[in-house]
Structure 1
Amino acid sequence: MASKMETSDFDEEFLTCAICMLNFRDPKILPCLHSFCRECLQDWAAKQQPLECPTCREPVRLPDQGVDGLRTNFYVNNLLDFAAAKKGAEPGVPCQVCEGNAEGSKSWCVDCAILMCDLCTLHHRKFPYSKDHEVVAEETLKVEKDAGKFHRKRHCPKHKNQELVFCCENCNALVCTACTVVDHRPGKHHNPVEIATVAQRRKAELQGLLQSIDPRLKEIQDAVKDVDIKISKLVPSKEEATDLAKAYFRKLVDFLQKREEDILSQIDEQCRADGKALLAKKEAIEFELAGLTSAQTFCQQAVEHGSDVHVLEVGNQVQTRVETLLTKRLDLESDWSEFQFVENTTVVDVEKEVDNFGGVKTNVDVSKCKVAVKPAVLRFQCVAELTTLSKEGRQSVTNNKAVKADMKDPSGKDLPTQVQMKSRGLWEISYTPEVTGIHKLEVKVNSQHVAGSPFDVDVKGNPVLTIGQEGSGVGELSWPAGVAVDKDGNIAVLERGNKRVQVFNVNTGQSLRSFPVEGEKPLGIAVDSEGRFLVTSWGENYGLRRYSKEGKLLNTFKPDCLRGPHGVTVLKDGRMVAADYKQQSCLLLQPDGSLIREIGKGQLRVPRYVRVDESRDVLFVTDKVAHKVFAFDLDGNLKFDFGRQGDNDGELQMPKGVTSDPAGNIIVGSAGDSLVQVFAPDGTFKQKLGPVKGGYSGGVTLTPDGYIAVACFRGHCVELYRYM
């Protein structure tokens, strides 16, 4: 049995908006289950695009009504009401109606969430609109501890005086008694059940979820403790690593200084030795010079000043001395060339090796690291993903400087790259190629090449991949009409010519399997949440058929309302929408094929393909003859339409396939102009692609990697396009 919840069970933070840091005012719940004041969210949404949750940063797509379309956190409102009521029971609090009687007894109207004095309470009980309201007396307020009893009553937005007491299970809508008579009358299409009954089932489901949460919480809490332990070791590890690094590089510096001293000493010693040898050589040469100079002087004096007798007396002696000196073999060469310092290991070589002088050792094992090269398209920002793994194969963090990526285009020119860690152990390497052809991507971790580096990156233009060619064999296609993505992320192609579904690998285009389908003219294909295929066919033996993942026929739907089915889509809860050109409408069907309602009757002329964006509660349908795309909600109300016949941007020629992306953009393929166009969520033109092969685009879908897959009906292939 669930325990009673008291305000004392929650601290003030539980009732406080994380934006304004005040108690909630009209709290609204985001899809991530975080709540904020309505006004705070409106201000936040006006300042931030795309919108993210202020607390967890989860991307948020607001309903068409904006913040007002989000659900109200009535539970927090009830707690605030309970806290206000308890405070109102204290002395000195005035009546919230007459703003007086601060000292008198008070009562609390649960329905209106106001505090009233005795006189206002008396009048409140007499007014027809409030005579049935639940009023809690002061005595009860003082002793009451169960906040669960303070639930404001919810009233029908259509019948303001009626309380919401039923849930229409077919429409998943809360309704009042009046609604069950008018819009949700019990029958084939509506099944109103008392809220308490449905809520009890939902509580049982949530209780089951709660039981599965505890073990997961324990696992996460243990992980947090483990992280805390590692955080406590982080600074000591840093200090130890820092000390070791400093000691290592000090040793390197010491080695270099010692080597410098040795080299300088060698230079000094060499200089001294060479100087001594040169001085000795100089003395020997000068000695010979002195002898020859002396003989020269004596000989000159004899010739110039000697008498005949003197010349005859010393002539022979002089001649002998001079001839002896002239014929003497002398070593006049110094045998010395200038000594120099030689870089046995050049500075450039050392610079190249510096990255190997130490490193930061983590648990990243470079041999286990992997690089996934995504398809690259000319002039689009392209990415490759590096996953850094430990020896155990788990994703592991390393520092930014440990990861390096370099890319060269086919001519060898460097192409700028950026490396950014996206999450723990996952890195994104981004670049924008300017030419097509094979590029080389070199990826290193801790100065070591990742296995497979450098990688070949084949940069292509649009389309990035073409699947199939005309024929009936494996991997061949004949008049492909519809495309869808199966549960494994592969592309399923519906072939009108071969009357089969063929599944292809989305990355390589390789045929994986195929199975035949019934019906004369198969056209539309969709995949439900269980991986089953839904296929429409028109003409003879028309119908909507459900096939297993393996291709076994499970069901054939031919309700009276279905006459000429074309496009089909399926919701997460199993409901289906089929475009019927004979009925000139879209049929919202139960999982068993029974009709819930017709959508677009009287507005559509020749509906072709459909797509439901459940996050925005909008159904898109193309109209071949109107040359438009219509947008309805699932209640059948027209929200907007866009397009007209023409060849300009945003104009359409016989629109066919339609889909939408996570950002709400609408993608439309046209048969008349063979183009694919991208529109903003409001239908304004953004981008044009194509023309597709064969000049006739059929069904379109979005691949898991965000490429547009187009069925080229006359080109007998499927083309994948990069966009945005």
Structure 2
Amino acid sequence: MASATDRSSPSAADISLTCPLCEQHYKKPKVLSCLHSFCQPCLDKQLQKEPGIVLTCDVCEQETSLPSQGLSGLPDDFVARNMLENILLSSANIVCTTCTSKSAAVSRCMECASYICPNCVSAHNWMLCFQNHHVVPLEELQGKAGRSALQRPVFCTTHQGEPLKFYCNTCQVPICKECTVLDHAITSHSYVYLTDQNVAVGNGLRTLVEQSKEKVDSLKKKQASLQDSAAQVEKQGEEVIQQINETIADLKTVLEQCKEELVEELNDWMAGKQEALNRLQSHIQDTVDRINHGCTFTENLLRQGSHVEILSLQGQVETQLQSLLTFNPQHKAEIQFVVNSDLLELIEKGSVGSLKSEELKAEASSSGDASPNDNENSPSRGSSYCSESGFSDGSGGGKSGSKVKGEVGSGGAESAPELPPKGAGRLPFEKTRTFSIHDTPEEIIIPPQDDSDVDGEGVERRTGSKSRIPDDRRQTFILKDSNQVDDLIPVVGDNNGNRYTTNSPRGSFRGGRGASPNPDLPPRPPPRAPTGMQKKPHYQNGGYNKAHHYSHSAPMSLEYQLGGYGQSPGLFNQTGGVVVSSYGDMYVADQGNHRIQVFDSRGNFKFQFGREGKFDGCLVYPNHLSITPDGNIAVNDPGNRRVQIFAPNGDYLGKFSVAHIKGVKDIAVSHEGQVLVLDHNAKCVHVFNQHGNLLQKLDLYKQLRLPTCVATMWTGDIIVADRNPHSIKIFDRRGNFLKQIPVKGFGYSPVRLCVDAQGNIVALHHSYGYFHITVFRPDGSTLVTSQGMKKMFYDFDMTPDGHPVVTTTDEHTVLYFSQLVRTGSKDNNLQL
């Protein structure tokens, strides 16, 4: 049994007494298999909306199968329930919960778990049915010792009203006295008193918590090593490109096209490998968070729970933590260019060389890391995160039907561990595939979805059975890489039969643009690179910057970049959101330095405002930015859970709290000056005025799945980026769904949004480590898509004259590009 010292009141950081669904104190708190707790009435409402026998956790999306008794069969959160009892005991107005008189309570019956008035106290003293009930005065309970002993009895779910007193070692569950006679007879079952078993179970759970904490340390070390692996991929990729160039230098006439193919496939591998490393790092962090939560829950249970409560939750806690302990990610990122020793002699046979790489995996340890109970007889751990072959390396094997051969493991020691399922939020798994260009019976080439295998220039696309390499040279080279599971990077297709992997946005924040374009703006002078900034040349196709089969693509010409890592003015410690005023001034959130920096249209530093703190005008990790119709700057201040308004010169104007919104993902300001806050947890948009008064709440739960960004159009319509499915969804100002713009033909997730000076919708999205900017007309048709650039972006905005301004996370810089769309001309002609 937990001691009185163990049950001392924990801090609010240790135990949350608020239901994540209703945001009120728990009412009959129930624990799901992931160890997150919710009110039973809230879970009942959720089941009414989505009937079934499986509940999906609103916090972590893990699924829980309902017992035969329904919600009432789920275990209670004893720790939270007892804490709420202590809070109620501190209240000055405790009424009788036994009778209907609503009189003030003076005592508590420990057997009834009810507060009773003087009349009910008399009834307990004289009535035979209350003969053995223990009545304790409130004054005694309100003492420290009384609070420690304040617990409700735990009754048997099979024999109603019978308290749990024994523990069946055969079935490993607490049982009552009636169970020992009927269902757990001593002739076939071994049972002991709960107090005798509690010590052994408590020690076992403490050992499991220690193992879980050690697992967290191990996972964090591997997570840190992924950063070095990403740099290694980059370095090795450059070395292989050099080897490729040297090898085929004397074969220009015959092998020039082979050179381009090798470089193209290598870039796809490098980009995919970088993406896979990012995915695996995110997966590790997710597992770390779930282990930390499990440890915190278990420690609170051991410290606050009674022996009955601990034993009741023992199996569920062990199942969750032991399943997480089996997660053991592995990663390798090596590639080499293998040159044929008889290259010149074999050139007519098409054997130039090949690329070989190791796999990136996350698998269960076979050397003792896994739990000894993790065998075929162990209880089910739920659906697996990954298929039999482990985790994808993210490359996707290049394009479908291309000359890429994927070799897939067959399970065994390479099998990935089963983890609790993420639920309906997951995209469907793709089956493992093998692609080959060898003319052998094992060749598998995915055909295109239509007959458009020839482009406008009469060149055959690399899909289906078509190839740009002549038939007699289709065995010129082999690029080998593996694509074990596409579950980390879901695979989608376009209308041409090409297949791409998509990227999941990783926390980028974005505010819509509220200020209307100023038609009277003077012509903007040509930008120049400020002192100390590097002038960047025009990015050409090839190398790391190449288009991915866009029919209308424009080059990305970088005019200048500013910033870098540091604390001095003009430098950044993790760039955040960016907005551009109607006069071309750029406001950039400097998250790590807790400030907003302002630059003119030429990139020259002007001033900064904000400093770390909780007072008015102070900021803690500012990220989202948006601009009001009168030019003021709205700043999301997540460290203080509020939105602050600043004048264009940085003077503090006002603030309002958003602490009641649990999942603030983005902010935007409409042309009427209303502040929109996107809540990605509740899938809704909160609309405030600039004084913080809530005007309306738009419930978009039925239309949105994974919203990432919000912005507003000139008409007042609201646009939201949703990455499942990959689309841009448009609503009117009342929240009525109007239409959806699919990201058709690209297969990339729209991550950040804004509306340019011509009313076009502009989306910033990325895949394979490249980012692209796509401009959609208001009717949803595509105007232009930029060629890709290998950067990790955070946010972007468009200047009044159509220049994209992008903040990057990998270099702490702000990039200023040339126009994608000419302004002031008919139909926004492309700037090519």
What's the TM-score bracket when you normalise by the shorter of the two chains? 0.3 to 0.5
More strand by proportion, 1 or 2? 1
Q: Determine which structure has greater relative contact order: mean sequence separation of CA pairs < 8 Å that are 6+ residues apart, divided by chain length.
A: 2
Which TM-score applies when normalising by structure 2? 0.30
Larger radius of gyration: 1
Which TM-score applies when normalising by structure 1? 0.34
More helix by proportion, 1 or 2? 1
